[in-house]
Amino acid sequence: MRDPFEKSFSKAKPLHPHHWVWEPLESDPGFILKPMFGGQSVYLDGNLMLYFAAKKEPWRGMLVCTDRVHHATLQRDFPELAPHPVLPKWLYLPEASDSFERTAARLVALARQRDPRIGVAPKPKKKRTKSTVR
């Protein structure tokens, strides 16, 4: 007979391939990880900071959630970053970059330090009216 606990462990979700990147943030009291568009988004103190995707290009890597006014300084400090081809308001670090691991770790450290160039306030959710409630 099977152990009743064995089944519950076998259905555990596999870890996101980039979980090691945001792992240093998990101990931060303001840290929240949420699924978003098939990836994982990292929030610190309510601000959307980073987004991790593990699909086909151009959705395979890390997006830095930032305002366009900060693009130039972030790209100066991190030449590997470029506006995302589909979502150009954010900067993209492709997993295929030779310096992905090093650059991603540095960007996570800046997010943890609350670098003002990283992070955007999420738009408030629209309230449903009676006519839009199903």
Predicted confidence (pLDDT) per residue in 67-91, tens digit: 999 999 999 999 999 999 999 999 9
C-alpha to C-alpha distance for 43 and 119, rounded to whole angstroms:
8
Q: Flag whether pLDDT at 7 surpasses 70.
A: no
122 class by beta-carbon count within 10 Å (0-12 exposed, 13-18 middle, 19+ buried): middle
Q: Flag whether pLDDT at 10 surpasses 80.
A: no
Tell me the percentage of the chain whose pLDDT exceeds 70. Answer: 85
Better-scored residue on pLDDT, 11 or 15: 15
Query: For residue 115, what pLDDT is reported?
Result: 98
The H or E element containing residue 61 is: strand 60-64
pLDDT confidence band for 92 (50 / 70 / 90): very high
Tell me the percentage of the chain whose pLDDT exceeds 90. Answer: 72
Domains of the chain, residue spans: 27-112
Q: Flag whether pLDDT at 60 surpasses 90.
A: yes
Q: Flag whether pLDDT at 28 surpasses 90.
A: yes
Q: How would you list the strands of the sheet with 39-44, edge to edge?
A: 31-36, 39-44, 47-54, 60-64, 91-94, 82-83
